């Protein structure tokens, strides 16, 4: 939706004329609740979807259906469960990220959803234990920005509106929303205190890329930002998003994240969901918008021009994507399926619409591509046709609680006590069963799930191998291996870490006595391979155990998880994933705790100070000179790659320090900040024994003597995934824009290129460098 044709503008203008009661130009314009056409266009209502803008039959408008993502059309039957955003980012494969979004979009469209509530650019992952980090992509804004742009294009190429979320600073689940204390006092949501430079260079960066790619809507988040709720923050919505970034679409609230009517509307909120004041998908009850909007317009609190703007923003994507023509109706089974998961029957069962197509192939491929080989001693992998295989851990088999356990969020767990209203231990989520996706609204309802144990047994049946297994972590922690004999040639341990909406993780380690489990298996088996399924950063106290010969971080791979990991274990697929975050040696290497107050004395006391500024993840490790266990960008292969002949070229001889004043702001902001200034080129070769893929990464270091304090040592500013046959060499070229080599000047409110030498480094991770060069973009 970068530019709208005149035809579309005319269509929208004609619709607006039908919405607004005609008045003489000298008279004030009013709106009516009979019929409530305009209020209904901006207020969620009843309908078959998680979010609904009701149809207006007399105008030929069929309504808008919204559905949760970002890994599946959530809470619906006969849909695919895709790899998580974190897994997609770990692939570092722009095309696969696009293909994932395109396939997701096709399923949303086939189910009759106009809007897919995805992709996720926030949380970025400031907190390693953030409950929703897995829904997003990476702790790095550049990598997340590329993934956001690819996902926006994929969803919208499928004919579905993207809703980039959660804007902004939604970096923890703890007290993300307002609550009520035991004495009945209303306690405000946590406030993210973010300075201007940190906002622009970290948390806003991916949303700018989404806007530039044409995202049709932005979801504002639950939290407060600098003491003001995100959905009524005029500085963020009107000032930064709509004015500075030139966002042309509409801003919709997260569900029940609206806290006012007039204030929110005038601050830039265009649509409230689910409409009612209570958190209800049925849209019942009073609303901050609805009839209150009518009163606000008629008493002059909200200008009529603002209402025109709201409706124009909402309707532009609808017409731009052709959703007014031959768009599928919402699947009538969706609400029945949702209600059934809460034990409610809505009448006779309605057959679901099967929208899965052949997406299992893509899911299997991306699940493998997003798995990172962290360790591989003496080429323990790929497996060499073992005849006695041991499979261990409660993450290996099918979930014993069924396949819909994750869609109800963190509260649908075996360890949540409804008596105490709290979690009884650090282990949450299902005990027995593989973890291929996280919990909450970002999850999905499986039609089937291929577990690792199932896939390994199927592979063993073809090779004539024996498979022994023990999936009780309680027995493994007790060192009870009586059922395992003889000792397997290879022991594969599957660990998991459950992450979900509404709750931040409590521990850096994998769940369910993971360290004891690994060490006990490794004590018995000198060739132990560990596979982790996790929603983010874990410590691995067992990583340097000499009997742990290989480690694979598989993240959340989706419904084909077992097949994806078998493809890698036996070498049918060569690992090519790279870490989109940093794995520490120990928990204390990360120093940003989740804000968690045991008691409060005032309503606005929950405050999260982003005092670390730009220093999150690898930037923090670099600044503090901390050696990680596995660095950002790390990932091994079954072959060997090399980089040579690194060079840098200037495209503009004498650029200005700051971008030119634009004639017009386009989506993404001042177009001059995206002007290419440099190119960097290198050669990459596969010198190993097998075909494979790798990711060539480019990092930029600004001159520390001419930039403000708090500037990172280096930042990612380019990457390319290349596939090479053995002994093949290819050229890789990067283009760097003005934004890529600038910092945000908080005084002049613009991007500024620093004077002096800018260092460019190319390699295979944030610490594995193969070539370095310097260039003076702006002379001193």
Structural tokens at position 180: 């009520």
Task: Give the separation between CA 78 and CA 357, rounded to whole angstroms.
Answer: 10
Check 140, 188, 254, 617 and give the catalytic one: 254
Task: Return the half-sphere exposure (C-beta side, CA atoms, 13 A cut-off) of residue 369.
Answer: 27
Q: Is there a catalytic annotation at residue 504?
A: no
H/E stretch holding 752:
strand 750-752
Distances (CA, A) of 369 to 134, 372, 469: 16, 8, 26
CB 476 within 8 A of CB 492: no
Strands (E), 388-431: 388-392, 416-417, 422-423
Tokens matching residue 455: 């896939």
Where do runs of H (alpha helix) occur along 114-254?
141-157, 196-198, 205-213, 234
Per-residue CA distances from 275 to 46, 264, 424, 743 (Å): 9, 13, 34, 40
Cβ–Cβ < 8 Å for 310, 253: no
Half-sphere exposure of 644 (CA within 13 A, CB side): 7
Beta-bridge partner residues of 630: 583
Strands 64-68 and 729-737: unpaired
Task: Count Cβ atoms within 10 A of the Cβ of residue 204 and give its class: 0-12 exposed, 13-18 middle, 19 or more buried.
Answer: buried
**Alpha-carbon torsion angle 647, 653, 656, 662, nearest 10:** -100
Cβ partners under 8 Å of residue 701, min gap 6: 713, 714, 715, 758, 759, 760, 761
Q: Which residues contact 165 (CB under 8 A, 6 or more apart)?
A: 117, 118, 119, 120, 121, 122, 218, 219, 221, 254
382 cis-preceded (ω within 30 degrees of 0): yes
700 and 714 in contact (C-beta within 8 Å)?
Answer: yes
User: In DSSP terms, which residues pair with 692 in a beta bridge?
Assistant: 724
Buried b (16+ CB within 10 A) or exposed e, 655-673: bebbbeeeeeebbbbbbbb
Taking a C-beta distance cutoff of 8 angstroms, is the pair 738, 649 a contact?
Answer: no
Which parts of 408-511 fold into alpha helices (H)? Answer: 452-463, 473-477
The answer to whether the CB of 174 falls within 8 A of the CB of 595 is yes
Active-site residue numbers? 254
């Amino acid at each position: 939706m970068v530019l709208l044709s005149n035809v579309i503008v005319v269509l929208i203008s004609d619709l607006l004329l039908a919405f607004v009661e005609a008045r003489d130009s000298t008279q004030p314009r009013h709106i009516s609740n009979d019929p409530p056409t305009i209020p209904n266009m901006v207020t969620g209502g009843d309908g078959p979807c998680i979010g609904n803008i009701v149809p207006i039959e007399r105008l030929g408008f069929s309504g808008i259906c919204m559905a949760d993502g970002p890994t599946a059309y959530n809470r619906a039957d006969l849909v695919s469960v895709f790899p998580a955003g974190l897994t997609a980012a770990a692939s570092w494969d722009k095309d696969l990220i696009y293909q994932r979004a395109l396939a997701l979009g096709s399923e949303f469209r086939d189910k009759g959803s106009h809007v897919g509530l995805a992709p996720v650019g926030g949380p970025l992952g400031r907190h390693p234990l953030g409950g929703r980090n897995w829904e997003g992509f990476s702790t790095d804004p550049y990598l997340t920005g590329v993934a956001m742009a690819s996902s926006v294009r994929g969803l919208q190429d499928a004919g579905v509106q993207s809703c980039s979320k959660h804007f902004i600073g939604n970096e923890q689940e703890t007290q993300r929303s307002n609550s009520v204390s035991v004495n009945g006092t209303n306690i405000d949501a946590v406030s993210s205190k973010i300075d201007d430079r940190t906002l622009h260079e970290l948390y806003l960066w991916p949303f700018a890329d989404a806007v530039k790619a044409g995202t049709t809507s932005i979801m504002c988040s639950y939290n407060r930002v600098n003491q003001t709720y995100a959905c009524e923050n005029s500085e963020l919505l009107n000032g930064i998003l709509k004015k500075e970034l030139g966002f042309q679409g509409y801003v919709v609230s997260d569900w029940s994240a609206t806290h006012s009517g007039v204030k929110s509307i005038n601050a830039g909120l265009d649509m409230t969901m689910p409409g009612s004041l209570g958190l209800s998908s049925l849209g019942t009850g009073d609303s901050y918008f609805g009839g209150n909007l009518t009163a606000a317009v008629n008493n002059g609190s909200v200008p009529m021009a603002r209402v025109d703007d709201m409706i124009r923003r909402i309707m532009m994507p609808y017409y731009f994507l052709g959703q007014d023509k031959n768009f599928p109706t919402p699947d009538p089974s969706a609400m029945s399926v949702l209600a059934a998961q809460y034990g409610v029957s809505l009448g006779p069962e309605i057959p679901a619409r099967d929208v899965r197509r052949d997406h299992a192939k893509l899911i299997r491929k991306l699940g493998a591509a997003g798995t990172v080989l962290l360790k591989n001693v003496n080429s323990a992998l790929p497996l060499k046709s073992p005849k006695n295989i041991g499979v261990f851990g409660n993450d290996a088999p099918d979930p014993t609680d069924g396949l819909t356990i994750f869609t109800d969020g963190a509260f649908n767990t075996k360890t949540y006590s409804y008596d105490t209203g709290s979690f009884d231990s650090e282990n949450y989520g299902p005990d027995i069963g593989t973890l291929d996706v996280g919990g909450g609204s970002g999850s999905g309802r499986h039609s089937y799930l291929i577990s690792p144990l199932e896939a390994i047994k199927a592979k063993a049946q073809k090779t004539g191998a024996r498979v022994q297994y023990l999936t009780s972590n309680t027995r493994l922690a007790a060192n009870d291996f009586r059922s395992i004999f003889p000792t397997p040639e290879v022991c594969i341990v599957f660990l998991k870490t459950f992450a979900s909406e509404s709750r931040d993780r409590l521990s850096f380690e994998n769940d369910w006595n993971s360290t004891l489990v690994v060490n006990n298996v490794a004590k018995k088996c000198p060739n132990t391979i560990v596979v982790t399924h996790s929603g983010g950063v874990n410590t691995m106290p067992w990583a340097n155990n000499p009997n742990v010969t290989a480690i694979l971080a598989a993240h959340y791979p989706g419904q084909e998880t077992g097949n994806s990991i078998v493809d890698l274990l036996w070498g049918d697929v060569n690992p090519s994933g790279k870490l989109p975050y940093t794995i520490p040696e120990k928990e204390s290497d990360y120093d940003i705790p989740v804000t968690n107050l045991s008691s409060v004395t005032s309503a606005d006391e929950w405050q999260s100070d982003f005092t670390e500024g730009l220093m999150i993840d690898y930037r923090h490790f670099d600044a503090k000179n901390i050696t990680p266990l596995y660095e950002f960008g790390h990932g091994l292969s079954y072959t060997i790659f090399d980089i040579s002949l690194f060079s840098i070229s200037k495209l503009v001889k004498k650029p200005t320090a700051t971008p030119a004043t634009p004639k017009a702001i386009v989506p993404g902001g001042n177009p001059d900040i995206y002007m290419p200034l440099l190119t960097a080129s290198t050669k990459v070769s596969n010198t190993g024994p097998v075909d494979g893929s790798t990711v060539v990464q480019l990092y930029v270091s600004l001159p520390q003597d001419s930039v403000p304090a708090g500037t990172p040592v280096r930042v990612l500013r380019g990457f390319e995934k290349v596939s090479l046959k053995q002994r093949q060499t290819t050229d890789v070229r990067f283009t760097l824009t003005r934004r890529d080599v600038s910092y945000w000047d908080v005084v002049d409110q613009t991007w500024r290129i620093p004077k002096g030498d800018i260092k460019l480094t190319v390699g295979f991770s944030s610490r594995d460098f193969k070539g370095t060069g310097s260039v003076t973009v702006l002379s001193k």
